[in-house]
Amino acid sequence: MRRVRAPGRVNLIGEHIDYNGLPVLPFALNREIVLEYRPRADRRVILHNTDSGFPPVEFTLSGDLAAAAAGSWGNYPRAAAQILWRETGPLMGLEGEVSSTLPIAAGLSSSSALVVATALALLDASGREVPREQLMSLLARGERYVGLQGGGMDQAISLAGRQGHALRIDFRPELRLTPVPVPPDWRIIVASSLVEAAKSAGAKESYNTRVGQTRTALEQVATRGLGIAPPTDYADLLNRVPAEEALARAESVLDEVLYRRFRHVVTEAGRVDAAVEAMHASDLPGFGRLLHQSHVSLRNDYEVSCAELDQLVAIAESAGAVGARLTGAGFGGCTLAACSTTAVDGVMEALAREFYAPRGVSDLGDVLFTATPSDGAGIA
């Protein structure tokens, strides 16, 4: 048996901007998808899941795979298989078992980790290699098979995570990964809202709506506000026009909703730059302020928070976290909170007491934990 592991991720800052060509700052988690498998001599893929709530998955490899029902976990292996077949040639099949230490539908990228794990296993079973950076781009495109118009952050960090570091991921003018050390006296707490963030199912329409809104806003700001040809993406725009000017022009030409979407994207990009500087300077209070600002923007301008996420943020900040925010797409999922080593126990105790205990949750292993920056995917 062969074994491949692919970690999930927590995105420190830079939310809902990777699909607009702007940089993000995630790190790979010490929680992962594991696929134990053996190659087959035919084109069949047969996968079982150690969680009995997920039925077996079977399909025949090709470059044109019919999707399973919306929300099916089997669509993620299909996504990896279809793009690899189309871009690298015919593949050999495999049979294996999937297990996970990642909470599902929690905004920690368990789905992309499954795509990455399947892709690495299929390439290994077929005796083929694809350079990691090329694979990141392929799988980002391939995962759109599930109908979600996402960016490339999740696949990149799962493949390229580095122990003890976050990665600043730039997408323009080309993919660039820059390690940023996480100060050793910082702690990142992840807390589940207990609300599923099922992007492949219920939240997909809301997510894709915002993708469309940001692109409409970009075009209108360029053509009506600035009198220039529509840029490729927001990275292109902000290379040509200062953020302050873009925001001023946007306010004069966009309706209220589109302006708020535009404002989130532009200001969140600035927060990524500032967060990298804060980490290099070990400026934990400054980093925390950026997290808080990001959450306010995601709640008010992008409208992807919910009451449970807002409550988790408030509890963490009141208990000693320097800042907190939702992480991932929103619509449920998780928050992250940054604090010092001396404050971490108090923050976790407050979250357990004020959020989870009233909801009858006593087993906190999968819903409240400190996140450790870890290495990316690999085969053993």
Among the options 64, 124, 154, 233, which is catalytic? 154
Q: What's the rounded Cα separation, in Å, for the pair 7 and 1?
A: 20
Q: Are 153 and 137 in contact (CB under 8 A)?
A: no
Q: What is the DSSP string of 123-174?
A: HHHTT----HHHHHHHHHHHGGGGS----SHHHHHHHH--TTEEEEEE-SSS
* The pairing of beta strand 44-49 with beta strand 94-100: parallel
Q: Tell me which residue of 98, 96, 94 sits closest to 50, measured CA to CA.
A: 98
Identity of the amino acid at 319:
A
- Name residue 59's beta-bridge partners: 45
Distance CA 254, CA 296 (A): 21
Closest C-alpha to 241, from 151, 19, 250: 250
User: Among this protein's residues, is 42 annotated catalytic?
Assistant: no
Q: Which two tokens stand for residue 235?
A: 């990275």
Give the C-alpha separation, 289 to 271, whole Å. Answer: 10
Provide CB contacts within 8 A for 61, sequence distance 6+. Answer: 43, 44, 45, 81, 85, 90, 91, 92, 93, 122
- Cα of first residue to Cα of last residue in the chain, in angstroms, is 10
Report the SS3 class of residue 57: strand
Among all residues, which ones are annotated catalytic?
154
